[in-house]
């Protein structure tokens, strides 16, 4: 059986310009690699109205439990202006001990490291005492509608059991080994529209300026103290991300005003409890100002925490041995696909250093890539003792 080199495999994966939701053939290539290792594979393409179809991959070797699953994504964000790069983002290059290319950091190299670790593990094991699986999506950087969420629903219908899941997101802020993610905050986005009455600025009594109402509301929203945080989570926080008043004239009071905000909330709240609190504010202030309002919410995920178990601590100890750093168990950062997978299985996130993800000249240290493969390999050794 072939042993795959993590660097060569990462290079091959990066060469596919798989910008969400375009697959560009990368899923088929990974399927071929996993089949060569003895995995049974299935490419799952999901479609939903108003969203582009997305290809995903579930692969498994072994017929019995426990099932250790690695999850990740092969889609990448656009490279931006290619002229700003020192290399072609889809023609990976090595410079000063780093592999440069779009997806090198987030997160094709991590997938390559786990495939390499799996190939090493399977080559030295006469018998696999359980199962190893891959849950790979092409919709993590996009809408996340036809990706992991739908794969999880598919696996639940098939009664597929996963006992523990390792998500390979780049979790480390500065050095490999600093951080394991054991949970994430929830994310709620709101788009608020205030409707007033348009009029001449010289006759304000004949109009109702929606900008006054929306400023009062946003001020109250920003002054909300949701909580003081918990031992596992930082305090919940609201940020206003857009304010828009479509008005081309300086002597006209506008008829409407819009604002968008996002709240990252911990597990003291649910999206529904926050919506109820905000709706009271909208109703109170717009009512006093004789304005009407419309609110549209989008929930990217609820807050969740995976209680650390023996597997968590085993992984933490392996990382410490190899990197000489004891990783912090953290819930910081944005959302990840573990928010969907947790419905099937406990899990955690650990991958590369995330400093250059989504940036021009996205890169991974060759030394880190080698160490990550070693960490993943040791995790498999210890999990299937």
Rounded (to 5) percent helix, strand, coil in the chain: 30, 30, 40
Q: Is the dihedral of CA 115, 117, 119, 125 positive or negative?
A: negative
Residue pair 27/74 in contact (Cβ under 8 Å)? The answer is yes
* Distance, C-alpha 20 to centroid of its chain: 13
61-95 tens-digit pLDDT: 999 999 999 999 999 999 999 999 999 999 999 99
pLDDT at residue 215, as a whole number: 97
- Mean pLDDT score, 342-352: 96
Check pLDDT > 90 for residue 126: no
The half-sphere exposure of 77 on its side-chain side, counting CA atoms within 13 A, is 12
Residue pair 182/306 in contact (Cβ under 8 Å)? The answer is yes
Q: Which fold has domain 186-301?
A: Alpha-Beta Plaits (3.30.70)
- Provide the residue count of the chain: 385
227-268 tens-digit pLDDT: 999 999 999 999 999 999 999 999 999 999 999 999 999 999
Closest CA to 227 of 268, 263, 261: 268
Check pLDDT > 90 for residue 60: yes
How many CB atoms sit inside 10 A of residue 77's CB? 16
Check pLDDT > 90 for residue 173: yes
With cut-offs at 50, 70 and 90, classify the pLDDT of residue 143: confident
- Mean pLDDT score, 141-150: 93
d(CA 273, CA 289): 25
With cut-offs at 50, 70 and 90, classify the pLDDT of residue 286: very high
Check pLDDT > 90 for residue 310: yes
Check pLDDT > 90 for residue 56: yes
Known catalytic membership, residue 75 = yes
Burial 5-35 (b: 16+ CB within 10 A, else e): ebbebbbbbbbbbbbbbbbbebbebbbebbe
Instruction: Provide, rounded to the nearest whole percent, the portion of the chain with pLDDT above 90.
Output: 96
Closest CA to 384 of 62, 111, 34, 168: 62
Closest CA to 348 of 310, 312, 299: 312
d(CA 16, CA 27): 9
How many CB atoms sit inside 10 A of residue 367's CB? 11
Q: Which of 23, 106, 140, 169 is catalytic?
A: 140
pLDDT at residue 125, as a whole number: 85
pLDDT at residue 241, as a whole number: 97
Known catalytic membership, residue 140 = yes
Q: Which of 6, 23, 31, 75 is catalytic?
A: 75
Task: State pTM to two decimals.
Answer: 0.90
pLDDT at residue 226, as a whole number: 97
Report CA-CA distances (Å) from 15 to 25, 76, 340.
Answer: 10, 12, 28
- Mean pLDDT score, 301-327: 96
pLDDT at residue 334, as a whole number: 85
* Mean pLDDT of the residues in the chain: 96
Closest CA to 302 of 334, 270, 274, 268: 270
The CATH architecture assigned to 6-184+303-383 reads: 3-Layer(aba) Sandwich (3.40)
> Hey, where are the domains in the chain?
6-184+303-383, 186-301
């Amino acid at each position: 059986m072939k042993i795959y080199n993590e660097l060569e495999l990462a290079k091959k994966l990066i060469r596919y310009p798989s910008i969400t939701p375009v697959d560009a053939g990368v899923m088929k290539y990974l399927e071929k690699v996993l089949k060569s290792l003895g995995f049974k594979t299935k490419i799952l393409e999901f479609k939903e109205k108003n969203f582009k179809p997305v290809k995903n991959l579930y692969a498994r070797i072994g017929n019995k439990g426990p099932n250790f699953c690695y999850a990740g994504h092969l889609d990448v964000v656009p490279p931006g202006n290619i002229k700003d790069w020192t290399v072609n983002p889809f023609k990976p290059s090595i410079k000063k001990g780093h592999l440069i290319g779009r997806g090198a950091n987030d997160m094709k190299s991590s997938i390559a490291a786990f495939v390499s670790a799996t190939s090493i593990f399977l080559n030295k094991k006469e018998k696999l005492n359980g199962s190893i699986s891959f849950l790979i999506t092409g919709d993590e950087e996009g809408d996340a509608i036809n990706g992991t969420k739908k794969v999880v629903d598919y696996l639940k219908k098939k009664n597929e059991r996963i006992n523990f899941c390792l998500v390979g997101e780049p979790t480390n802020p500065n050095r490999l080994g600093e951080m394991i993610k054991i949970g994430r905050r929830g994310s709620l986005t709101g788009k608020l529209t205030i409707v007033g009455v348009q009029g001449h600025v010289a006759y304000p009594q004949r109009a109702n300026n929606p900008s006054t109402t929306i400023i009062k509301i946003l001020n109250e929203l920003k002054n909300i103290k949701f909580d003081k945080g918990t031992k596992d989570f930082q305090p919940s926080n609201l940020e206003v991300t857009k304010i828009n008043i479509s008005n081309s004239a300086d002597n006209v009071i506008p008829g409407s005003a819009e604002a968008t905000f996002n709240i990252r909330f911990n597990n003291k709240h649910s999206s529904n409890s926050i919506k109820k609190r905000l709706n009271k504010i909208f109703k109170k202030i717009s009512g006093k100002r004789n304005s009407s309002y419309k609110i549209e919410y989008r929930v990217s995920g609820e807050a969740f925490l995976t209680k650390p178990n023996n597997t968590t601590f085993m992984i933490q100890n392996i990382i410490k041995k190899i990197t000489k750093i004891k990783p912090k168990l953290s819930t910081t950062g944005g959302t990840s696909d573990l928010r969907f997978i947790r419905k099937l299985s406990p899990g955690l996130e650990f991958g590369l250093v995330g400093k250059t993800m989504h940036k021009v000249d996205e890169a991974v240290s060759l030394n880190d890539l080698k160490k990550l493969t070693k960490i993943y390999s040791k995790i498999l050794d210890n999990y299937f003792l």
